Amino acid sequence: MSLDRQALRKHLRSQRQQLTESEQALAAEQVTQTFLSALASNLPKQANLALYLTNDGEISPSEICKWCWANDINVFLPVLDGQALVFARYTSDCEWQKNSFGILEPIDPNPATGSDMDQVLMPLVGFDAQGGRLGMGGGFYDRTFEHKAERTQLIGLAHDCQEVESLPIESWDVPLGGILTPSRFIPC
């Protein structure tokens, strides 16, 4: 059965939204372990790592964030900047504001760019093993990383139930360098 992008997005969002609170907590714990075994050793001290605040059933990177803070890794969160993103420093005592979608963003007078990031752990709605990413449909990450720095590693975070055999890919879709799920890391 071939689904268009919108129908596929709706189907996959529904699947992750149906996960119980305990299933979400277990998935967050497991994805942290996968991160520690597959990616953490690639991060030097003072590296810049972008995460996100969980929304709409996305897998939570909160334990990864705590590990980064404890291991001298700079943590950033995406902030809307027109049709793209910049990245605000995220600390335990930062000030917050809501963006146009009602999502909290840290207030940072000097946000970083995507090219300043060493690793970006980004949310997604669906993925395939070839590095295809289906996002929410706004194109913010695609526009931000259209001309990404060579060193910037884009990693999608997802529940295992968000994997599909093959995604319909468009010319503007920025491919991932890997996908991190509770059960495995898939290099792409």
Q: What pTM, to 2 d.p., does this model score? A: 0.91
pLDDT tens-digit map of 75-90: 999 999 999 999 999 9
Q: What pLDDT does 3 receive?
A: 57
- The rounded percent of the chain whose pLDDT value lies above 70 is 98
Residues 176, 182, 187, 188, CA torsion sign: negative
Report how far residue 146's alpha carbon sits from residue 150's, in angstroms, rounded to the nearest whole number.
12
Per the model's pLDDT, the better-predicted residue between 167 and 32 turns out to be: 32
Check which CATH number belongs to the domain holding 140 and give it: 3.40.50.10420
Number of domains, the chain:
1
Q: Is the pLDDT of residue 11 over 70?
A: yes
Range of the domain at 73: 5-187
